[in-house]
Amino acid sequence: MESAQFRPAGLHSVISKIDIAHMRSLAEKSYDFGPGISVACGANGSGKTTLLEAVYLLSQGFSFRAHELKELVTWKQDEAIVRGTFDNEGIISNRGVRIHLRGCEARENGESLRSVAQFFGKCPAVIMQPSDIELLRGAPETRRRWLDEILCFRSPTNATTLRRYKRVLQQRNQWLKQNKSDCGSAVGGDDVFHILTQQLSEIGARLWTLRLALSAELSPIITEYYRKLSGGVDEITCNYKSSILSELDDAAAADATPSEAALQETYLRKLQSLEAVEKINGLTMAGPHKDDLALKISGYEMRSVGSQGQCRSAAVAMRFAAVDVASRYLSKPTLLLDDIFAELDTNRRDAVASLIRDKGCQVIIATPQVEDLPFTADAVIRL
């Protein structure tokens, strides 16, 4: 099982200042934040969400809404520049990103980084937004992406495991695709294919072990937050869902936490049974990339039977669970709220506000009207 590294409780990272130039609708301006609750308010299209996106980019190393960072560059501009100052318990960090149409350059404290992704893991951030309902309503890929992001909060080595799995899966799919198009004449022949299958079974089993451990940690947290948000009216369950788990042999299946060796053996056997079909389809048809996180209410999956309010409560519960994991293994994250209160009824608004106060995190909120918030802001930024 994973040996997670804990940090002392109470560590707190905050962003104190950010400079933005030519990022989406924001031209050139600086913004200051305090350690409490800062509110960015303004009309639609004024750049409120873009401000949150800039903070998230410098914290997490990627955007929560852009597939490619070049999408952040203002129309008809050559580049976007984002700089920020972070304070992690007295340790000051200055980060900067220069995004242009050919790529991206990242620096921290004057040192060039290989990738903006290297920002991840030091000064975490968690975003809450109306589109989070897709965590419940959307495809399994949405929930896997959420799960894997939190997996990286637990340990930086988990990111390496994810990259390795993705790389081997891509290589195996390329071999299958070439084998299909060239009528069984892929480079390296079956010897290469069997090596890739063995490698995929090994790294896949490792990824399953990590995800199962994380799911066991997250499940009671999500359930408890949902209970608070729903006022105890109903309860949900949260379990990792994988076809491979149902195919474990009797001894492994009886164990609540199957061993990595048992997972690998079962996965390898599954891949071998699918070999003929995969060669016909040109695609790897089983593995962690096909799994899901099943959130159920009254025994039924919420994506099918959950009401709008129930799904929004579950999504908020998932985001608060991410806050808890980041706080446990890294430091208290900056909590970014993108106009989420308009989507909640009065009881849920009050419950979310209470949980936010209890967390003691730095909070940055984007909203059209400050007056609509269920608590008082420490600072207001007008866009």
Evaluated on CA atoms 46, 345, 351, 128, the torsion sign reads negative
Average pLDDT over residues 248-260: 70
Least confident of 58-62, 227-231, 287-291: 227-231
Reported as a pLDDT band with limits 50, 70 and 90, residue 87 is very high
Please write the tens of the pLDDT for every residue from 167-211: 999 999 999 999 999 888 888 889 999 999 999 999 999 999 999
Domains of the chain, residue spans: 13-124+336-382, 140-302
| Over residues 259-274, mean pLDDT | 95
- In the predicted model, what is the mean pLDDT of residues 25-35? 93
What does the pLDDT look like over 296-307, one tens digit per residue?
Answer: 998 899 999 999
CATH number for the domain formed by residue range(s) 140-302: 1.20.1050.90
The reported pLDDT for the residue numbered 156 is: 87
Q: pTM of whole model > 0.75?
A: yes
pLDDT of 254 strictly over 70: no
Task: Give the pLDDT score at 375.
Answer: 83
Is pLDDT above 80 for 367? yes
pLDDT at 8 over 70: no
Q: Domain 13-124+336-382 belongs to what architecture?
A: 3-Layer(aba) Sandwich (3.40)
The per-residue pLDDT for 344 is 87
